[in-house]
Amino acid sequence: MLLFRPKVSGLRHVPTTGPVIIASNHLSFSDSIFMPLVVPRKVTFLAKSEYFTSPGLKGFIKKLTFIALGQVPVDRSGGKRSEAALLTGLKVLTDGQCIGIYPEGTRSPDGRLYKGRTGIARMAIESGAAVVPVAMFNTAEIQPTGQVVPKLRRVEMNFAEPMYFTGDSTDPAVLREATNKIMDVIAAMSGQVYVPNMYASEAKDAIMKSKAENAGDFE
């Protein structure tokens, strides 16, 4: 960790006890490595179940890595499975623990910050957890998508003051408003271009479609 000369500010804002949701922008796989190393409590991440089921030695090593990082496998494919993932997060929080969430739902495909998923707001309201927004810097340069060995660059993290939310957790408007407030803070801290009307997964699909169409132009 020292090789990356971490610069951390606002760590005092992370409550030392009680349920906490650390809500971060997501630029790189290494976000899930650097951030838990500086937080003075165990951080549990809800990770895609596919990370734990990859075949072969590489898959086994990946599984051990995610377990060592305190990540819990969940099925986020939608519907009842996504509901089960949310309930898993709530169980961790009602036990008074700390979880890490990327509200965008996946890594940013182009460095911009995208619309947040409202599951974070529901968990915050139903558990009474403090939400601590975090801005990660330089991790996309340290470990771009597809790169195994990280580059030696300085990593920076800014932690904001905790946010608390109340209201009807079954009301989509309440959940959207709370989620947007969290994303606004992350955007202000990170300085990223904020795209509040598009999910990161939609942006990824659009980029992939554009690449496929451009490739077809040369056939």
For 171, list phi and psi in degrees, rounded to 5: -95, 110
Q: Which domain holds residue 92?
A: 2-216
Tell me the per-residue pLDDT of 135-177, one tens digit each, with 9 for 90 and over: 999 876 666 566 556 656 677 899 999 999 999 999 999 999 9
Q: Provide the pLDDT for residue 78.
A: 55
**Mean pLDDT, range 114-120, rounded to an integer:** 95
- When pLDDT is cut at 50, 70 and 90, the band that residue 33 belongs to is confident
Tell me the per-residue pLDDT of 37-53, one tens digit each, with 9 for 90 and over: 899 999 998 766 666 66
CATH number at residue 120: 3.40.1130.10
**Mean pLDDT, range 113-132, rounded to an integer:** 96
Please state the pTM of the whole predicted model. 0.84
CA-based angle 206:212:213, to the nearest 5? Answer: 90
Number of domains in the chain: 1
